[in-house]
Amino acid sequence: MTLQPGDALTSHNFGLQIDGVMVEYLAEVSGMTMEQDVITYQQNTPDGKNHVRNLPGVKKNGTCTVVRGMTQSSSFTQWINESINGQMATARKNASIIMMDFENNPVKRYNLRNAWCSKIDTSTVKAGEAAALTETVTITFEELVIE
């Protein structure tokens, strides 16, 4: 690994795997969130003093947004269609967002369990415009494990 003590990963070297297959032409991953309820528990100590503790509560599902170039990727399109059509038996897949070092070695993984596409936006098409077309996909997942 090329990272030295004190080095940080860079934001431009990352990848997305869905069921072990790398998604090609990935431009951006953003807004990865996972939340857990906080339970505030108040009790009195044996000497009558109020004592407040925060406890972990129920985990909530998470989301992230992926922007990629609009391509002819049949597997990615199929996954989006399965999700949108409610074919959840095949739409739920395990995905990983992979952060890589300067030599493209995986350093950190965000593993998303039971991920599926909950929203898709396409970029604007306009006569006379010279721009790449993109798809912005919101991915919903049930559990996040960071390695």
Find the mean pLDDT for residues 8-23. 86
pTM (global) more than 0.85: no
6 occurs within a structural domain: no
Residue that wins the pLDDT comparison between 58 and 4: 58
Residue 18 belongs to a domain: yes
Whether pLDDT at 1 is above 60 = no
Q: What percent of the chain has pLDDT over 90?
A: 68
Range of the domain at 24: 14-146
| Number of domains present in the structure of the chain | 1
pLDDT at 134: 94
Tell me, what's the pLDDT at 58? 93
Q: What is the pLDDT of residue 7?
A: 79
> Residue 85's pLDDT is what?
95
Asked if residue 9 belongs to a domain, the reply is no
Residue listed under structure tokens 């997942």? 141
Q: Specify if 1 maps to a domain.
A: no
**80 in a structural domain:** yes
Task: Give CA torsion, residues 15, 21, 23, 24, to 10 deg.
Answer: 100
* Per-residue pLDDT tens over the stretch 76-131: 889 999 999 999 999 999 999 999 988 888 989 999 999 999 999 999 999 998 98
Domain assignment present for residue 7? The answer is no
Quick one: pLDDT band at residue 5, thresholds 50, 70, 90?
confident
Query: Is position 135 within any domain?
Result: yes
pLDDT score of 25: 83
Give the chain's mean pLDDT. 91
pLDDT band at 71 (very low <50, low <70, confident <90, very high): confident
- At residue 13's C-alpha, the angle toward residues 101 and 24, to 5°, is 130
Q: What is the CATH number of the domain that holds 23?
A: 2.30.110.20
138 located within any domain: yes
**DSSP class of 125:** P
